[in-house]
Structure 1
Amino acid sequence: MPTQIPTVRSFLSTGADLPGGLLLAPLRVHEDQRGTFAEFYREEWGFGPRPLQWNLVNSVPNTLRGVHTHADHYDYLIIIAGEMVLGLRDSRVGSPSFGWATTVRVTGEDPHIVVIPPGVSHGFCFTKPSTHVYGVTAHFVRPEESICRWNDPDLGFDWPCTDPFLSPKDAAAGSYKDMLARFSLLPLDQ
C-alpha cells in the first residue's frame, strides 16, 4: 500500500511549485440550512481557454481512469462527491518542470478545481463511490490522446490500489517511455 497520500489542501499548504498551467485551487463553499452552493467556473477567473464540453462521470470504488496525456486541450476537473486520488506528471519535453510528479487526494467534502494543461499526464483512482464533472477545451479526438500503463514505475505515482477496474484501452496501454516517445512528436500547447 502507498504512503499517506496528502489532500490537495495539505499539498498546497507546503508551498510546492506547480508546473506551468497546472492549477489546484479551493472552491468557496457557501453553506446554510438548505445545504451548500459553490461556483466552480467563471470565465473571468482566467484559468486558461474556455471549456467547449462538460462531462459528468460516476465511478465505483477501485476504478482507475488513465493515465492519459492530451496534446491540445486543458481539462477542468471538480469532484462533486466521493474521493479521487489524482496522479500528475509533467511530460512536456523542454518544460522547466519536466518529470515533476505528485499524487494527491481530492474530495467532494473539500472541493477544489483542478486545471490540467496539455502535456501533463494524469490518472484518477477512485477509492469511494464518486462523481466528478470535467470540462475540456477541445472535443475528444482519439489520435491526440496518448496513454500509458497506470502502474508504470517511471510515472512515480503512489496509487492506493493494486488491481483496479480499468477500461479496455487503459488495460492495454504501453509503457510511459513509449508514450513519451510518441507524445514528444505531437504539437504541444505550452
Structure 2
Amino acid sequence: MMEGVVVKELIRHCDDRGYLTELVRDDDNLLEHFGQATFSMSYPGVIKAFHYHEKQDDLWFFPSGNAQVVLHDLRKNSSTSGKTETYYMGENNPILLLIPKGVAHGYRVLGCNPATLIYFTTTSYNPKNPDEKRLSWDDKQIDFDWQTHYR
C-alpha cells in the first residue's frame, strides 16, 4: 500500500429500521486536524482527475454509486514515490480512503447511476489561495488507462 494511505473498512449496524454506519471518529486518528466536510455528486462515466494538495489530507467516502479511485504518489521522499494504485469504492465496497498531501488523486464513476462523494479535509478551502494543484486526467507522468477492459 502507498505510504501514508489508510483504508478503513466500515461496519454497518443493521436492524429492522435500516442501518447506521460511523464514518469518522476522533479516536480513528485519521486526520491530523479537521478542516471541512464536503458533499459532491458526479454523473455516470464522469472522470474527475487529477489534483493534489501540498498542505491538506483528504478522507473520501462514496455512500452511493461506485467509483474507480486512482492515486499516484508525487512525493519525492516517499518510499512509494511514482507508484500508482487503484481502489474501487462505493455502495458495493463501503470504505474510507485517506489520501495524504502530495498524492495525486481522481476518480471515474462506474455503472449507470451517479456517485456521491463525501470528503473530509484537514484544512478549509480558501478560494483566494486554493491548495489544489491540477494535472490532466490523461497526464503522461501518471499514464493511467481509464478504460474498462472486458475480460
TM range (shorter): 0.7 to 0.9
Q: Is the 8 A contact 2:73 2:81 kept in 1?
A: yes
Q: In the alignment, which residue of structure 1 is the partner of 2:131?
A: 144
SS of the residue corresponding to residue 144 of structure 1 reads coil
Q: In the alignment, which residue of structure 1 is the partner of 2:116?
A: 131
SS of the residue corresponding to residue 141 of structure 2 reads helix
| Number of residue pairs matched by the alignment | 144
Separation in 2 of the partners of 1:112 and 1:144?
Answer: 25
Report the TM-score, using the length of structure 2 for normalisation: 0.87
Q: CA deviation at 1:143?
A: 4.6
Q: In the alignment, which residue of structure 2 is the partner of 1:10?
A: none
Name the structure, 1 or 2, with higher relative contact order (CA <8 Å, separation 6+). 2
Deviations 1:145-165 (A, max 9, x none): 21111112421423237xxxx
Please give the residue correspondences for 1:1-190 in structure 2 after superposition, counting only pairs within 5 Å: 18-127=1-110, 128-141=113-126, 142-160=129-147
Q: CA deviation at 1:85?
A: 0.7
Deviations 1:84-125 (A, max 9, x none): 110101100121110110122112232100110100110011
Q: CA deviation at 1:47?
A: 0.9
Q: Is the 8 A contact 1:101 1:156 kept in 2?
A: no
- In structure 2, the CA distance between the partners of 1:143 and 1:95, relative to structure 1 (3 Å rule), is same
Q: CA deviation at 1:131?
A: 1.1
Q: Which runs of 4+ in 1 moved over 4 A?
A: none
Give 1 or 2: higher strand fraction: 2
Report the TM-score, using the length of structure 1 for normalisation: 0.70
